Amino acid sequence: MIKYNFDEIINRRETDSIKWSKKHLQENFGDEESIPMWIADMDFKVAQPIIEALTERAQHGIFGYGYKSDEFLESVVNWHKKRNGWDIEKEWILFTPGIIPALNFIVETFCKPGDKVIIQSPVYYPFANIITNNGCHIANNPLIFNNGKYEMNFSELERIAQDSRTKLMFLCSPHNPVGRVWTAEELQRLGEICLENNVLVVSDEIHSDLIYQPNCHIPFGKISEEFKMNSIICTSPSKTFNLAGLHISDIIIPNESLREELNHKLTTIDIDPGSFASVAQITAYNNGEEWLEQLIEYLQNNLDLIDKFIKERMQGVKLVRPEGTYLAWLDFSELNFTDVELQQMMQKKAKIALDDGYIFGAGGEHFQRINFACPRTILVKSLENIEKSLMDLVSIGR
Ligand SMILES: Cc1ncc(COP(=O)(O)O)c(C=O)c1O
């Protein structure tokens, strides 16, 4: 067994990392030295088998056009069987170089300008841009924040879905940024409403391998035959294995006619996995589980640390404890700061780069999202900076 060291601090500055680049930190947070706890990638080295396989591929020295080999497709089939008990077929899988491109292609393919797409804010903010950039309208069904827990508003969902212009629903499962892992009952109700109203469910399951027990991820297409035929399931090894820069995603569409429609678009644009993407996915899915189990344990300990730190040292701040993902949603509403004041405090005083809650849409105001997939010393330093800034503000009576 390899014992991975997630405490290791690795300098990412010279690797064109958006999260760490001085340029992006300066532009977005006004300080190139802010501690980067924003954008969703991890500061951990990937699993050793992936590094070795990529090195070997690089040594081969020829990087011509690639394709979705059987081995590539089988790695996805076996992964979903092993992790989620979900049986899928190789033929159902389309390749796109990321889920954002996939969602764009999906809206282009299945909607026409003026159509509506359902989202549930606060949610991963590119969803909104994808919809409006394609000439469609956002049909927002904000989540309900009930006693510290987020829930879906099913009666409102039903009302929105009944509009004949509503064609798609972007389901974020697990939900970024609030960290919910939706239960079978919740998915069942959502699926029924969409089915009854001819709304196609696009389930973005990019975070689905990062789940904290006793929660359990349920692939939307696994719930029933009818849901399977009324859904597009977007999956990827990128969050799970820290491979976002290799641009890999696997779009699972059991319904043949829907698949043919999307495939037509992808074939015209001519998209296939790159040489490194193929090797990375195959190795991650076939040999990455040992690393993943250790990663989840490390993340869980980071989460416990945040929980304890906030309870003991940040009065007025609350953690909405995520059931999955490495993103924690911090509630500052009790402190009565405006969003600008909160932003200024994080940027100018704490000198930490977090994602402002309001960018995730209605309901995100007064929250901040922190990415805790980093070595523990960096996490502690960030929390201490926030604590100190809060104490300074309290001491000057703000
Ligand atoms: C819910 C969700 N979907 C999609 C993405 C991005 O996917 P990709 O990098 O494959 O385009 C992210 C990244 O944070 C995400 O959180």
pLDDT digits (tens, 9 = 90+) for 211-258: 999 999 999 999 999 999 999 999 999 999 999 999 999 999 999 999
Has residue 2 got a pLDDT over 90?
A: no
- In which band, very low, low, confident or very high, does the pLDDT at 73 lie, cut at 50, 70 and 90? very high
Distance 372 CA to ligand 1 centre (A): 16
User: Do 95 and 219 sit in the same domain of this protein?
Assistant: yes
Task: State the chain's mean pLDDT as an integer.
Answer: 97
- Region 20-32 average pLDDT: 96
Distance 103 CA to ligand 1 centre (A): 10
User: Do 267 and 177 sit in the same domain of this protein?
Assistant: yes
Give percent above pLDDT 70 in the chain: 99
User: Shortest CA distance to 285 belongs to which of 76, 84, 98?
Assistant: 76
> Exposure pattern of 289-322 as b/e (b: 16+ CB <10 Å)?
eebbebbbebbeebbeebeebbeeebeebbbbbb
Among 287, 315, 345, give the residue marking a domain's end: 287
Establish whether residue 204 lines the binding site of ligand 1, counting it when its CB lies within 6 angstroms of any ligand atom. yes
pLDDT digits (tens, 9 = 90+) for 113-138: 999 999 999 999 999 999 999 999 99
Contact 242, 207 (CB under 8 A): no
User: Do 110 and 179 sit in the same domain of this protein?
Assistant: yes
Atom of ligand 1 nearest to the CA of 40: 14
Has residue 182 got a pLDDT over 90?
A: yes
In a domain, 176, yes or no: yes
Has residue 397 got a pLDDT over 70?
A: no
In a domain, 52, yes or no: no
User: Do 230 and 154 sit in the same domain of this protein?
Assistant: yes
pLDDT at 103: 98
Establish whether residue 124 lines the binding site of ligand 1, counting it when its CB lies within 6 angstroms of any ligand atom. yes
- In which band, very low, low, confident or very high, does the pLDDT at 396 lie, cut at 50, 70 and 90? low
Establish whether residue 187 lines the binding site of ligand 1, counting it when its CB lies within 6 angstroms of any ligand atom. no
Establish whether residue 236 lines the binding site of ligand 1, counting it when its CB lies within 6 angstroms of any ligand atom. yes
In a domain, 202, yes or no: yes
Q: Is 163 helix (H, G, I), strand (E, B) or coil?
A: coil
d(CA 200, CA 190): 11
Which of 42, 124, 205, 369, when mutated, tests ligand 1's pocket best, judged by the most ligand atoms within 8 Å of its CB? Answer: 124
User: Do 197 and 67 sit in the same domain of this protein?
Assistant: yes
User: Do 85 and 203 sit in the same domain of this protein?
Assistant: yes
Establish whether residue 240 lines the binding site of ligand 1, counting it when its CB lies within 6 angstroms of any ligand atom. no
User: Do 172 and 75 sit in the same domain of this protein?
Assistant: yes
- Region 355-377 average pLDDT: 98
Has residue 360 got a pLDDT over 90?
A: yes
User: Do 126 and 36 sit in the same domain of this protein?
Assistant: no
d(CA 248, CA 255): 22
Establish whether residue 245 lines the binding site of ligand 1, counting it when its CB lies within 6 angstroms of any ligand atom. no
pLDDT at 156: 98
Give percent above pLDDT 90 in the chain: 96
Name the token pair of 92. Answer: 């159902």
Q: Which residues contact 393 (CB under 8 A, 6 or more apart)?
A: 345, 349
Q: Is 38 helix (H, G, I), strand (E, B) or coil?
A: coil
In a domain, 398, yes or no: no
User: Do 278 and 301 sit in the same domain of this protein?
Assistant: no
H or E segment to which residue 257 belongs: helix 256-269
- In which band, very low, low, confident or very high, does the pLDDT at 398 lie, cut at 50, 70 and 90? low
User: Do 260 and 303 sit in the same domain of this protein?
Assistant: no
Establish whether residue 382 lines the binding site of ligand 1, counting it when its CB lies within 6 angstroms of any ligand atom. no
- In which band, very low, low, confident or very high, does the pLDDT at 270 lie, cut at 50, 70 and 90? confident
pLDDT at 393: 80
Q: Is 105 helix (H, G, I), strand (E, B) or coil?
A: helix
- By residue range, what is the domain housing residue 126? 62-287
Q: How many domains does the chain have?
A: 2
- In which band, very low, low, confident or very high, does the pLDDT at 141 lie, cut at 50, 70 and 90? very high
Looking up residue 28, the CATH number of its domain turns out to be 3.90.1150.10
pLDDT at 356: 97
pLDDT digits (tens, 9 = 90+) for 3-18: 999 999 999 998 999 9
In a domain, 341, yes or no: yes
Distance 237 CA to ligand 1 centre (A): 11
Distance 100 CA to ligand 1 centre (A): 6
Distance 356 CA to ligand 1 centre (A): 17
In degrees, to the nearest 5, what angle opens at C-alpha 101 toward C-alphas 97 and 103? 130
Atom 13 in ligand 1: residue holding the nearest Cα: 40
Among 287, 319, 338, give the residue marking a domain's end: 287
pLDDT digits (tens, 9 = 90+) for 300-349: 999 999 999 999 999 999 999 999 999 999 999 999 999 999 999 999 99
Looking up residue 123, the CATH number of its domain turns out to be 3.40.640.10
Establish whether residue 206 lines the binding site of ligand 1, counting it when its CB lies within 6 angstroms of any ligand atom. yes
Contact 193, 211 (CB under 8 A): no
